[in-house]
Structures are given as structure tokens and as C-alpha cells.
Amino acid sequence: KAKEDGRNTHRFFETDMGIAVNDRRELISDLRNAVANGEMELYFQPQYSLDNYAISGFEALVRWNHPTRGLVSPGDFIPLAEDTGLITQLGQWVLTEACRIAAGWPRHLRMAVNLSPRQLRGHAFGPVLIEALAKSGLRADRLELEVTESVLLTDSDEVLDALHQAKSLGVKVSMDDFGTGYSSLSYLRRFPFDKIKIDQSFVRSMAYSDDSISIVKAVIELAKNLDMTTTAEGVETRQLLDMLKDIGCNEAQGYFLGRPMPVAQAEELIFACEQSLSTVAQ
């Protein structure tokens, strides 16, 4: 039920009511050692090109295998990690691990990594990025950094500098959850994103609202004019996939196409796709 009411309500239940104050304190102290204890794991969700329905890349989504609570979702610990500053260490681990894994995958596949605002503040991010690329050998243009507009909301030159530095290395930058904030449009002017990820809430409501279809169409048109590509998030049905292709969206991601999965499963999927491609080619 909470899910139907939207993401904010969902978070409200899980974070503010589900996790009480004591829990929060306990989680924070557990979080301090989680990376060192090897409790963090990356899951990977495929992104498909709507030109040919081939996989174009994966988004890395962090999971916490808590020793007693089981799998904790990022919605429940990323905010804690941000509040406590632990995000710096966690974010560095995510970036390094995602680059390492992507470097072993076929060269046409990109890897998208989510960044929190705090990771981009200060001047530590540039060196971390350069090191992650150098250590893994991943070609810079195979890496995409996903930021939400909250990243630009901080209005700091440090953040813009960090993003510009990433772009100058050849790394791609995407605006995540487009349309959910207060002034997504003004952010498009302030930074040259390579890609817009259309938020799930718009995508989902296309199924029953003509107005939502118009909005998504307009975003796709806008992106084209700004030389940016579009990815639709939260594609849960065939019907939505077909609609998005019809209106010219470039890529799609969602449960209909594939859920986030552990690395071994992602590699099976990649292998199966390569096999079927080589069968077609013969």
C-alpha cells in the first residue's frame, strides 16, 4: 500500500517509523565497520537500448548484507551514511568496485554509479575518480556518474568543479530522477549532462495519464535539443516499454527488463546475450 502512495511515503514508513531512534544509532555504529567487514555488495540492473533491445550497460546499486538484519536497502542506509560522513568511504568503495567489475565486461557495456552530494564536496573526489579508473583500467567513457539535482542544490563551485573534472576525463554524467525536484530545468542550464534519467513516477503514470505521456514526450524532445540522451526508469510493463520506444526514448531500465542482480547473475546475462548475438551473426 505504501508503495502505491509514492516513494516519499514509502521512505517515511521505512525510515522514519520502521527504523526507530535506537535502531538508527545501532545502524550507524554497524555502518562504520560494514565496508571493512565486507558486508557491502553491488547489485547490477541492466539498461537496454530501445533501438535494438540490446543491453547497453548496467547501473550499480549498493546493498548491505547486515549480519543480523539481512539485506538492507540503500534507501535505509545511504541517508545515514550521508549524515555521518561515512558516505565518503562507502562511495569510494562503490566506485572502485564498480570500475573493477566493469573493466572485465565486454567493451560496449557502460557502468553507471550513483553519487551522493557529499561525495562531491571538498576536493577529494577528483583523485578518487582518477585512481578508480587507473587501477581498473576502465576506459573513462564507459563510466557514467548519476547525480540527482540535490547535488546541484548545494550550489557550490566545488561540486560543479568535480563534475567538470569528471567530464574532462571523458566520464559521462547523468541527471538521475529527472522531474522530481523543484527546478530540474534550471539545472540543465548549469551543467552539461550527457543523459537524463526520467523518474519512475512519470514513467509509471504514463500507463493511465495522457498528461504524463505529454510530459515525458516533452522531456525527450528537450533532451534531444540539448544533445542529451534519455533513459526511462521504472519500466514495469511491456506496454510502457512500447510507448517509450514510440516516443523516441533512447534507453529503458526497470523490473520488466531486469531487476538488480548479483554480479554472477549479471555475468550470466551478459554471456547469454553475447551467445545469442553470435548465433545471429553466423
Q: Which does 97 bind (CB under 5 to 8 A by kind): ligand C2E, Mg ion, none?
A: none
Which residues, at least 6 apart from 153, have a Cβ–Cβ distance to it below 8 Å? 117, 181
Which residues, at least 6 apart from 60, have a Cβ–Cβ distance to it below 8 Å? 42, 43, 44, 94, 97, 98, 101, 111, 112, 113, 114
Which residue has cell 550521508?
A: 82
Q: Does 243 bind ligand C2E (CB under 6 A)?
A: no
**How far from 110 is each of 27, 138, 200, 261, 266, CA to CA, in Å?**
33, 10, 21, 16, 13
DSSP string over 108-134:
T-EEEEE--HHHHSTT-HHHHHHHHHH
Single residue of 27, 31, 50, 62 touching ligand C2E by CB under 6 A: 62
Closest distance of CB 204 from Mg ion, Å = 12
Single residue of 94, 138, 232, 247 touching ligand C2E by CB under 6 A: 94
Single residue of 47, 88, 92, 114 touching ligand C2E by CB under 6 A: 114
Q: Are 267 and 102 in contact (CB under 8 A)?
A: no
Q: Which does 236 bind (CB under 5 to 8 A by kind): Mg ion, ligand C2E, none?
A: ligand C2E
Count the residues of the shown chain that bind ligand C2E, applying the rule CB under 6 A: 24
Q: Does 234 bind ligand C2E (CB under 6 A)?
A: yes
Closest distance of CB 95 from ligand C2E, Å = 8
Q: Does 46 bind ligand C2E (CB under 6 A)?
A: no
Of the pair 30, 176, the CB lying nearest ligand C2E is at 176
Q: Does 73 bind ligand C2E (CB under 6 A)?
A: yes
Single residue of 75, 192, 248, 262 touching ligand C2E by CB under 6 A: 75
Q: Does 117 bind ligand C2E (CB under 6 A)?
A: no
Q: Which of the residues 120 through 149 are near ligand C2E (CB under 6 A)?
A: 146
Closest distance of CB 82 from Mg ion, Å = 13
**How far from 204 is each of 6, 43, 98, 213, CA to CA, in Å?**
11, 23, 28, 10
Q: Which of the residues 1 through 40 are near ligand C2E (CB under 6 A)?
A: none
Q: Which of the residues 221 through 280 are near Mg ion (CB under 5 A)?
A: 233
